[in-house]
Amino acid sequence: MDGADLTEVLQGHDDDQAGMMEERCILVDSEDQSTGSLSKIECHLGQGHRHRAFSVVLFDSRGRLLIQRRASEKITFPGVWANTCCSHPLDIPGENADSPGGVIAAACRKLEQELGIPKSVTSRWNFNHIGSFEYRCRWNQSWVEHEIDHVLIVQAEAEIHPNPNEISETRWLDPEDIGEMMNGAGHWGGTVIAPWFKMIWEHFLSPQYPDIDSIAKSAREEIVRCGELTIDSPSAIPGQSFLDALGSHRNRVEGVIMDSLGKMQQERLHGAMTHLFAGGGKRLRAIIPRLVGEAVGEAHDGHYTLGASIEIIHNFTLVHDDIIDQDPIRRGLDAVHVAYDDATAINAGDAMLAVGFEILAESPEIDADKLAFLVSAIGEMVRKVAEGQQDDIEFEQRNTVTEEDYIAMITGKTSAMFETCARTGAILAGASDEIVDNMAIWGLNLGLCFQLMDDLIDITGDTETLGKPAGSDVVHGKRTLIAIHALASGLDLPNFRKVYGAGDCSDDDLAAAIRELQESGSTAYARNRAMHHHSLAHRSLELLDDNPAVQVLKELTDFQLIRIN
């Protein structure tokens, strides 16, 4: 492949991860002698090329093992659980020597980049090189690993600050936890574990663990040949538990939604009210109350009614939003005001708002003592959404909109709905006040991550996939965080300034404007802010007692980073 082809392969992937694909890995023969170097993308694409790698296994003074879950932005093996740190020495001075010193130098570099452990700390650690192994494992049709992996054991205390672009979650495991993880027992059932981590456990750790001193002294001279490996269960892909939960709940909540909208007898108005639901969708907001209820208390059919109420009200806001923005497409369909007319669309939205509250009051599964709280919470949500929408409208007329202004606006317009889904779902499940507040914080940060990712998707997707015009935020002059950063950067961005707020433009001009936003760092800035809220959302989930339903919420949180629709 030439450079243009390689660039095309990386299109749509995280900018930071794609950038690291240009790094030069060390090619090796079957005896781990260096034979040259190739870019990381060339080493991993297609049939791949054998190259050198390392794996750090860090134990603390109590004998607990630090493991990590790879971020969903990772291009190869995203979302899988792995050992403390794993990467490649590069073809640079200090790392390209055919000796343990090269892989140790690389390990120190990556421990700082991934886990925030400074080199000033790791340079004092006693890394024990206990051997190496060769394996090959395909992730999908495009990407493959073929490595000779050097295993480094170290026992030390470490204060970690995980880089969310690399790591979505970390845990310290005691011997019992590790055994359960490797056997797929308990809450680890169905978890995808990196194939190299399983080889490290099988060939280097388990024979002596938990005697860490014995492990450190058990260096093997021969390279262990592990051959062709596979992911444990191809169906157990990262996020599968969440996708399964969506599938199991979607039909139930969809039935409640359509039955509720059936209250409208006026034929044309009923058609307008149900129009957007014909476009499909994951019904994420409709299902979150149920998922939260399962994670923190007692879930029941009232959660479907609650979710349906919020989803119907959400669609009411979309109908009006499309009229305000004059967006012609929603979920691949004509927007309601296009399929019908502005007056009917406004009327349909008003009726949907009424139905949303009506079904709550009529639900036999929602106790009277909970009803007042739910009505109040959803009413507050609608008010915040309206306030956020009005701020969004007025931003277009203001000379200056700050990052703080924008975050406050989307906190109301988008995040308030996720916060309400989480808060009311916990309340309806009988959770404690402390857990209810914690879940509200989770929902708030989930919503902020969702909207920031939505802004990114608007300029990196295509109209057919998105179900709405690609780049419409730029063309309409929307004050997204990307645009705010670009406008405040002081950089000369002629194509962006030509297109921004123009109302219409050629595909070539829009493509040039988007390239400038990417090259200026504006899209990366917005992505990093999304990652910040993603990390905060995970922090809230870590406060919950772990169970399969909490794992679903964790996968939902990660899903915001890779979703398209």
pLDDT at 280: 65
pLDDT at 209: 87
Where in 238-348 does DSSP place strands (E)? Answer: 329-330, 333-334
- Region 307-336: mean pLDDT is 89
Backbone angles phi, psi at 316, to 5 degrees: -60, -45
Name the least confident of 17-21, 287-291, 373-377.
17-21
pLDDT at 328: 87
Name the least confident of 326-335, 382-391, 404-413.
326-335
Asked if residue 313 lies in contact with residue 349, where contact means CB atoms within 8 angstroms, the answer is no
Q: Give the Cα separation of 208 and 276 in Å (integer).
A: 60
- The pair of structure tokens assigned to 225 is 């040949």
pLDDT in tens, 316-328: 999 998 998 888 8
3-class SS at 88?
coil
Q: DSSP letter for 190, please.
A: T
pLDDT at 240: 67
* pTM summary value: 0.62
pLDDT at 295: 95
Residues, the chain, total?
565
Confidence category of residue 466, pLDDT binned at 50, 70, 90: very low
- The pair of structure tokens assigned to 327 is 């967006």
pLDDT in tens, 148-159: 999 999 999 999
Helices 302-325 and 284-296, axial angle in degrees (round to 10): 150
Share of the chain above pLDDT 90, in %: 62
Q: Which residues contact 437 (CB under 8 A, 6 or more apart)?
A: none
Q: Report the Cα 35 to chain-centroid distance in Å.
A: 37
- Region 320-340: mean pLDDT is 86
Confidence category of residue 168, pLDDT binned at 50, 70, 90: confident
Q: Give the Cα separation of 112 and 162 in Å (integer).
A: 9
Confidence category of residue 503, pLDDT binned at 50, 70, 90: confident
Q: Give the Cα separation of 482 and 129 in Å (integer).
A: 45
Mean pLDDT of the chain, nearest integer = 88
**Extents of the domains making up the chain:** 3-229, 240-559
Ramachandran sector of residue 79 (left: φ over 0; alpha: ψ -120 to 50; beta: rest) = left
3-class SS at 83?
coil
CATH 1.10.600.10, applies to 240-559: yes
Asked if residue 425 lies in contact with residue 291, where contact means CB atoms within 8 angstroms, the answer is yes
**Best CA proximity match to 446, nearest among 337, 326, 291:** 291
pLDDT greater than 80 at residue 192: yes
Confidence category of residue 136, pLDDT binned at 50, 70, 90: very high
Q: DSSP letter for 278, please.
A: G
Q: How many other C-beta atoms can be found within 10 angstroms of the C-beta atom of residue 132?
A: 23
| DSSP one-letter string for 464-520 | HHHTS-TTHHHHTT---HHHHHHHHS----HHHHHHTT-S---HHHHHHHHHHHHHT
pLDDT in tens, 520-559: 989 889 988 998 899 899 999 999 998 889 989 988 998 7
pLDDT at 303: 96
pLDDT at 294: 95
pLDDT greater than 90 at residue 273: yes
Maximum C-alpha span of the chain: 80
Q: Could you say which architecture CATH assigns to the domain 3-229?
A: Alpha-Beta Complex (3.90)
Give residue 531's identity as a one-letter amino acid code.
M
Q: Do domains 3-229 and 240-559 have the same CATH topology?
A: no
Asked if residue 28 lies in contact with residue 35, where contact means CB atoms within 8 angstroms, the answer is yes
**Best CA proximity match to 137, nearest among 182, 221, 65, 77:** 77
CA dihedral sign, ordered 416, 417, 420, 421: negative
**Best CA proximity match to 539, nearest among 441, 456, 462, 472:** 441
Helix (H) or strand (E) holding 178: helix 175-183
CB hemisphere CA count around 375 (13 angstroms): 16
End-to-end CA distance of the chain: 31
